Amino acid sequence: MRLLPTVLFLSGSLYVLSPNFDISFYASAAETEVAKDGYKDLKSGAFGGEKVKEGGWDTDEDTSGLSGQNSLNPLKDDGVNGVGPTSTNGPYALNTEVSEGAKIKDWNEWIKQAKKDFSGYKGAMHTQRYEWTKEKEDELQKFCKYLEKRWMSYTGNIDRDCKSDFLQSTQNWNDNQWNKWVKSEGKHHMNKQFQKWLDYNKYKLRDWTNAEWNKWKANIKDQLDDEEWKKNEAAGKTKEWIKCTAKMEKDCLKKTKKHCKNWEKKANSSFRKWEGDFTKKWTSNKQWNSWCKELEGQV
């Protein structure tokens, strides 16, 4: 499907949501595997990537803002064989087109215009966060279907994450023991797989927010005449701009974190429902019988 550019006019500013960026935020790795017909196991994980601390959104909360250098690192492989974060990026990038005409030569006029432009910037960011959330809801469903397929097999799923004596201890298990295991330790493994997916997407949302903020701030500064900036910098007036952008930055971060928190709450709720339904199906079908056949060949 070809994505056409979307143009938004907000507060006198032009925002172009370009399809040319390599973002593909709706195309999850789970969807890719489905298209390949068979959910092939990839050596370093179905999705690849790196790991952040669980609940990673707050990892760098106190060490940097949107313009800081200590942004969240991608997810690392946690040893859960074959299930990792999606390969998606954040929401659409925003192109803030700056007029090629004469630059603003009055400091106060520039500050006034920057504040006006910020209102449009916030509107565009809000729109893209909303669109991103809708895509993630669909992606989570695909991810859960992917996990269902993976949990049909022990090998290539959680084999490296289980205790070394797991193979030996399960040889003589009865149905009750398997039921107990999947409802406790089994769910624990599912949760780790889901958390990896969740953390990665939280990281990408934060990373997108950082990038868009830095880009917007640079574009706004570029609208001011260079000599006017130097003159006001020498007079100490650039402190006004620093204070103004610090407040804007805090506002952006607050809104993105609130949005992320609400999305995370809904995603957790959806996953818990799937997890409950799937474990019932898994135990009802006595899927451990298939696992045991795999284990017999490994003991």
**pLDDT digits over 20-36, tens only?**
323 233 234 444 433 44
Q: Which of 70-84, 120-134, 192-206 has the lowest mean pLDDT?
A: 70-84
DSSP state of 58: G
Between 27 and 198, the more confident residue is 198
| Res 293: pLDDT | 87
What is the C-alpha separation between 189 and 217, in angstroms, rounded? 43
Phi, psi of 224 (to 5 degrees): -90, 140
What is the C-alpha separation between 272 and 267, in angstroms, rounded? 9
Is residue 14 over pLDDT 80? no
| Res 156: pLDDT | 77
Percent of the chain past pLDDT 90, that is, above it, reads 56
Q: What is the mean pLDDT of the chain?
A: 75
| Res 102: pLDDT | 82
Confidence of residue 6 (pLDDT cuts 50, 70, 90): very low
Cβ atoms 57, 73 nearer than 8 A: no
Percent of the chain past pLDDT 70, that is, above it, reads 65
* DSSP 3-state of 188: helix
Find, among 40, 228, 79, the residue nearest to 162 by Cα: 79
